[in-house]
A and B are shown apart, each in its own frame.
Chain A
Amino acid sequence: MKKLLKLTTVMLTVLLSLGAVTQASADKLKVGFIYIGPPGDHGWTYAHDQGRLMIDNMLGDHVETTFVEGVPEGPDADRAIAKLAETGHKLIFTTSFGYMEPTLKVAKRFPDVKFEHATGYKQADNVSTYSARFYEGRYVQGQIAAKISKSGVIGYIASFPIPEVVRGINAFMLGAQSINPDMKVKVVWVYSWFDPPKEADAAKVLMDQGADIITQHTDSTAALQAAAERGIYAFGQASDMIQFAQDTQLTAILDNWGPYYVKRTVDVLMGTWSSGDTWDGMGPGMVGMAPFTNMPSDIAMMARETAESIRTGAFHPFTGPINNQAGEEVVAAGETADDGMLAGMNFYVKGVDDKLPQ
């Protein structure tokens, strides 16, 4: 919050100095968003939409925002992005991994439009990438799960076997092992970001296999609600989902895109935007944790401490010794995985009860 206030003051000063410029050009800057799901998913897309609304709230006098929802990752994405560019949007956020190639393609056709692609790895002169270190929150969740689980089996609903998702599973596993080395994580791949019935089915399968804690790397509240029906605990994802499962949600990873979105919009307004790659975590506040609920106070205390030491940089979730499934050491004792290894992560750490699809 303090950071937010600071940002606001900086922004206001900027805007006051900007006043003269924008009055000259009466047109507002148009900022567009491409969403994979509906803002009402109360997860991934909802979190991005909250970021968009922050732009509206803070820069509404100078900026107008638009979004296109439910754009499939594939041939349609190109058209939807281009349509935003054609209709005068000068800054466009494409908020799913599968928009990477379409974003680059459209960016080539519209060199004077700035593009921001979430969770990708390819940049261009007018294409930036940004993502959050969600794995930091996963580690905390793993610790909580290991403390609370009685069966010792965690169910993990995964979307696509890409490094971002694999990294989350590994961080969760490492967190769980730090409490109980015998913890097991079972994984079900649903090959979709947003498909509530599929997400709920996956949760049921995992619970049938003995999982007594559910977590997910998909966008809806379905898995959490499926867990609530069976009376077991689960985690929210991307936003605080407590209102959907009062007695079920232990905590949730919060994606806090707003400050980044506001900053990049101001950069465009001021003409200081340049292409780059941003990967922020709890430290800068891009990742947060929802309140620790439905757990004894000592576990909540432990979770808070872990989160705090990750936030300050005192602790890195991928600290060695870390072994892969074959038992080979991938990070030596006392060392931490570098960003290169994290960004391209395509192996499971020891203890994950699944074979990585490849």
Chain B
Amino acid sequence: MLRLEPRSTQSFAAAWLSPVMALVLTAITGGVIFLAMGKDPSTALYIYFIEPLTTTSGLSEVAVKAGPLILIGVGLSFGFRAGVWNIGAEGQYIAGAIVGGGLAVYFYESESTLLLPAMLVFGMLGGMAWAAVPALLKTRFNANEILVSLMLVYVAELLLVHLVQGPWRNPQGWGFPGTRMFPDVAIMPLLFSGKRAHLGTLITLAVPFIAWFILAQTRFGFTVRVFGSAPLAARHAGVHGHRIIWHSLLIGGGLAGLAGVIEATSTIGQLMPNISPGYGFTAIIVAFLGRLHPVGVLLAGIAIAVTYIGGEGAQISAGLPKAVTGLFQGIILFYLLAFDLFTRYKIILPSRRTAAQ
């Protein structure tokens, strides 16, 4: 039998090369799949991975799509580093959209330029409040934060549906679920006319660098890193476990909430039942693909966004089915996990004698 044995030291280069190798192998595997489908692999791969980055509107769309993935992914990576497993970012995203977007629902005739900044703050608070529940239950009753945060996703979804169909429903909406459209002052200004990239996109691109600074340069960042890699040692050094749990969940929740309200105030412009195509869950993949490093998450978010945008382009110009997008994302994850295994473990081949037994 083959045996896996943990490596005593892990190579820094290998940890960073594995996502790159995963992408390369995904492209090669994809080429084989395209060939089997009777498409020219180089054209299909070009449409898929390169074309979205060759036009200004393509770049703008990649940035817009990557935005929430990066924001949430950066937030989650704090917690994941510290061993706090917040799986419910989707719920925190929705809570942020509800609390932040709720302001625009109540002040729908507002012309104040303060509305949008207030919504962003409220959105963050909403996400934090939602994440505070698993933090409280974890620190008080040692309840598993994976389950609690995940369950709260469904609660948030149902709450949103209830609000947009009930008390917040657009009175001029013929009974269709959804709030009024937000007033102009509650809409993110566009960066370029005719493109969808907006002010929130800039915030999104700045956050990973701020997070990098915090992780690398502050005492708090240090405790997160230490707590994740050696919790016992951290405790002896006086790091308080409860505090780390609270901070991790509040940061994750706050950034997810911010992502939610930014999305509501930019690409959507109202609250409605479908405000997230699963960003909170996809961001978990993004966080790991980015090695739980803020700048890595930024790159990973862009990579995943490219597969979405390229997937649409491939449907339009190459007639490829949508399933290929999901296939690619699955293959990336598969290769990444495989490479991670090899960076953390070495394979011990069976000796001849044991094989003969």
Comparing A261-269, A314-322, A341-349, the segment that makes contact with chain B is: A341-349
Bound Cα distance from A346 to B176, whole angstroms: 9
Task: Give me the interface of B with A, judged by CB distance under 8 Å.
Answer: 57, 61, 64-65, 161-162, 165-166, 169, 174-177, 181, 194, 196, 263, 267-270, 272-277, 308-309, 312-313, 315-317, 319, 321-323
B270 in contact with A84 (CB, 8 Å): no
**Given the complex, which residues of A lie within 8 Å of B315, measured CB to CB?**
66-69
A-B residue pairs, 5 tightest by C-beta: A346-B175, A75-B267, A74-B274, A70-B322, A72-B277
- Report Cα–Cα, A345/B174, bound state, in Å: 8
Bound form: Cα–Cα A346–B309 in Å: 37
Please report which residues of chain A, range 56-104, place their CB below 8 angstroms from some CB of chain B when the two chains form the complex.
66-76, 78-80, 82-84, 86-87, 97-98, 101
**Measured between C-beta atoms, what is the minimum distance from A299 to chain B in Å?**
34
Binds B, one of A158-166, A180-188, A214-222: A158-166
Residue in A closest to B315 when the chains form the complex, CB atoms: A68
**Contacts known (A74-B272, A78-B196, A101-B181); A68 close to B321, Cβ less than 8 A:** no
A76: chain B residues at CB < 8 Å are: 65, 277, 308
Name A70's closest neighbour in chain B (CB-CB): B322
A121 at the binding interface (Cβ < 8 Å) = yes
B312–A358 CB distance below 8 A: no
Q: A68-B312, A80-B312 are in contact. Are A86 and B57 (CB under 8 A)?
A: yes
User: Which residues from chain B contact A2 at a C-beta distance below 8 Å?
Assistant: none
CB contact between A109 and one of B61, B194, B263, B323 (< 8 Å): that residue: B194
Q: Is A279 an interface residue (CB 8 A)?
A: no
Is A345 within 8 A of B312, CB to CB? no
Can you name 23 A-B residue pairings with CB atoms under 8 Å? A32-B316, A38-B321, A38-B322, A68-B315, A68-B316, A69-B321, A70-B322, A73-B272, A73-B274, A74-B272, A74-B274, A75-B267, A75-B268, A78-B196, A79-B312, A83-B312, A101-B269, A161-B165, A162-B177, A163-B174, A191-B273, A344-B175, A346-B174
Residue of B nearest to A189 (CB): B161
CA–CA, A84 to B270, complex, Å?
24
In the bound complex, do residue B268 and residue A74 qualify as a contact, i.e. CB atoms below 8 Å apart? yes
Q: How many angstroms between the C-alpha atoms of A101 and B187 in the bound complex?
A: 15
Contact of A357 with B by CB under 8 A: yes
Given A74-B268, A74-B272: A83 and B263 interface contact (C-beta under 8 Å): no
Tell me which residues across on chain B come within 8 A of A83, comparing CB atoms.
61, 312-313, 316
B contact residues around A80 at 8 Å (CB): 312
- Give the residue name and chain of the B residue nearest to A37 (CB): B322
Q: How far is the CA of A77 from the CA of B196 in the complex (A)?
A: 13
Distance of A66 Cα from B320 Cα, bound (Å): 11
Interface residues in A277-323 (C-beta closer than 8 Å to B): none
Q: Pick the most buried of A79, A80, A86: most chain B CB atoms within 10 A of its CB.
A: A79
A33 vs B7: C-alpha distance when bound (angstroms): 53
- Of chain B, the residue at the smallest CB distance from A340 is B174
Interface pair A79/B196, CB less than 8 Å apart: yes
Cβ-defined contact, B322 with A98, below 8 A: no
